[in-house]
Chain A
Amino acid sequence: MLQFVNDHIVCRPVICKSLCDRIFIPVVEFQHVNKWFGTLHVLKEIDLQIESGEVVVICGPSGSGKSTLIRCINRLEAVQSGEIIVAGKQLSDPSLDLRALRAEIGFVFQQFNLYPHLSVMENITLGPIKVRRVSREEGEKTAMQLLERVGIPDKAGAFPASLSGGQQQRVAIARALAMQPKIMLFDEPTSALDPEMINEVLEVMTDLARDGMTMVVVTHEMGFARRVAHRVVFMDEGQIIEEGKPESFFAEPKSPRAKQFLSKILFH
């Protein structure tokens, strides 16, 4: 992989550096990854490459290992064998600066997990101030821009408990974006939401994808996958069963298990 990166550094013109970053370099790579919880084999020989700027949706029945897979990317879960490379860093490297790596990876949880004792503004500025060492003034300016972007600039002074689920999740997205991450990971971001709030969160995610953010999304929102994803990865029992462009995956899934899964969630 290093060779691959170097080739591009050598050959590309300087002016298209940022463009090339977006197009060619894999930012997440799984190589023969295995993980067990006790005796339960939750990830089996996972091989996966995610390119910069790509939006990948991971779907599959519950217990298939999709949340575990996404949690491995910022090492909330450690793996027992294989290698994961994120932004050029091997996660198994003992000298890895895990904090610096995590600062580059935004993570959005199913349960939002806002800090309940801090205001929306403080939720968003805490990371930039404590980790990135930006000034409070600058942090708040960025936070206001992000709150505009997720559509709730009027909630800066509110506390999380006074917000709806959809608003809380949008704050959580703004909090992750405030760190200016290279990758955004979403672990079932709409599963805890009332139906009428799902769209407001998906819209924010769609905008983010249009802006070229690299995104890995575990979700059951197949409409979102169809409209926004560049690639759909289908998992079952800890394995990647198939992957492909959303058009082909939804129109003609190759494996019987994907067919069965899709028939259950698309036509009920």
Chain B
Amino acid sequence: MNYHFDWSVLWTGQSGQWLLQGVVTTLEISVLAWLLALGLGTLSGALRTVPFAPLRALATCYVEFFRNVPLLVWMFFWYFALPPFLPQSLQDWLFNHGAEFWAGTVALGVYHGARFSEVIRAGIQAIPKTQFEAAISTGLSTGQAYRLIILPIALRLIIPPATNESLNLLKNSSVALTIGVAELTFQTRQIETYTARAFEALTAGTLIYLALCLTIAFVMARVERRFAIPGMIARVGAAEH
């Protein structure tokens, strides 16, 4: 093997700028999709456990529909298949304002929302039923019981699997390159194409994804400690209180 490493390709020419733009776009699409996923997931995860059957059925349909189709197909669907059904003015606006970005965000958000939903449902079902009964016995409505008691407990319980889902979401944002979103993987490949330096470009991409994910895992671990219920869950290495 006779390969001469040339790391300078990462900061000469436009490479540095491309990488930076890629990171910003990856973060933008991931944060927006994450908010969408968390909102949809919390709502549908909660609805899957409520006493009223039609709402449970609705939430089940959402989960099974969106998690059982490949993310790539959803990306294509939201970008290529759906826009023609929108009003012309909205189509014009979208294609002038990065339609691929919004299609990618929605695809990522609804797909991961369906997966978040199951995580949140598991968290809710880990809470004894009598906890809910205690809440409604004081006259709270089902909605209040979920908002004030059930979800605050469930969301604390599910931080470890939710961290997993969040990391997957960030990594899956790379699929958006297939509909032309200029995120990190897209930019990495662009550098590779311009410099013919695949190893350096992909190494840079790899390390940046790794750094982003480790940061998220670190932040989520802090969140978990910050919101831990005093005395409720024993964890190794947790400080005494």
Inter-chain contacts of B148 with A (CB < 8 A): 126, 130
Tell me the nearest residue of chain A to B153, going by C-beta: A117
Residues of chain B contacted by A179 (CB below 8 angstroms): 138-139
List residues of chain B with CB under 8 Å of any chain A CB: 128, 130-131, 133-141, 144, 148-149, 152-153, 156, 229-232
Tell me whether chain A's interface is mostly helix, strand or loop, or mixed: mixed
What is the chain A residue whose CB lies nearest that of B127?
Answer: A116
Given A111-B130, A126-B148: A102 in contact with B231 (beta carbons within 8 A): no
List residues of chain A with CB within 8 A of the CB of B229.
Answer: 116-117, 159, 161
Distance A170 CA – B128 CA, assembled complex (angstroms) = 20
Given contacts A117-B156, A130-B148, contact A102 B137 (CB under 8 A): yes
Chain B, Cβ-Cβ closest to A112: B134
A76, A103, A116, most chain B CB atoms within 10 A: A116
Q: Which of A133-156 touch B at CB < 8 Å?
A: none
Q: Is the CB of B128 within 8 A of A102?
A: no
Any chain B CB within 8 A of the CB of A34? no
| Extra pairs beyond A113-B130, A179-B138 (18, CB < 8 Å) | A102-B139, A106-B137, A107-B137, A109-B134, A111-B128, A115-B135, A117-B153, A117-B156, A117-B229, A117-B232, A130-B144, A130-B148, A131-B140, A132-B139, A160-B231, A162-B230, A162-B231, A172-B134
Is the Cβ of B153 less than 8 Å from the Cβ of A127?
no
Known: A159-B231, A162-B230. A74 touches B140 (CB 8 A): no
Q: When chains A and B are docked, how far (Å) is the Cα of A114 from the Cα of B144? A: 16
User: Which 4 A/B pairs are nearest by Cβ-Cβ distance?
Assistant: A161-B231, A103-B139, A127-B138, A113-B134
Residue A215 CB within 8 A of the other chain: no
Can you list 9 residue pairs at the A/B interface with Cβ under 8 Å? A102-B138, A107-B137, A109-B130, A117-B152, A117-B156, A126-B138, A131-B139, A160-B231, A176-B137
CB distance from A217 to the nearest CB of B (A): 16
Q: In the complex the two chains form, is A175's CB within 8 Å of B230's CB?
A: no
CB–CB B128/A113 < 8 A: yes
Q: Give Cα distance in the complex from A36 to B153, angstroms.
A: 32
* A113 and B135 alpha carbons, distance in the complex (Å): 9
Complex interface residues of chain A between 87 and 104 (CB less than 8 A to chain B): 99-100, 102-103
Complex Cα–Cα for A176 and B134 (A): 9
Known contacts A113-B131, A130-B148; A76 and B137 CB within 8 A of each other: yes
How near does chain B come to A86, taking the closest CB pair, in angstroms?
13
Q: How long is the Cα–Cα vector from A159 to B86 in the complex, in angstroms?
A: 52
A161→B231 CA distance, assembly (Å): 5
**A105 located at the interface, meaning its Cβ lies under 8 Å from any Cβ of chain B in the complex:** yes
Question: Are B140 and A127 in touch, CB under 8 angstroms?
Answer: yes
Q: How far is the CA of A4 from the CA of B42 in the complex (A)?
A: 50
* Complex Cα spacing A105 to B136, Å: 11
| Assembled-state Cα–Cα distance A132/B103 (Å) | 46
* Residues in B neighbouring A74, C-beta threshold 8 A: 137
Nearest CB on B from A25, distance (A): 22
In the assembled complex, how far is the CB of residue B120 from the closest CB belonging to chain A, in whole angstroms? 16
| Complex Cα spacing A115 to B229, Å | 10
A126: B residues at CB distance < 8 A: 138, 140, 148
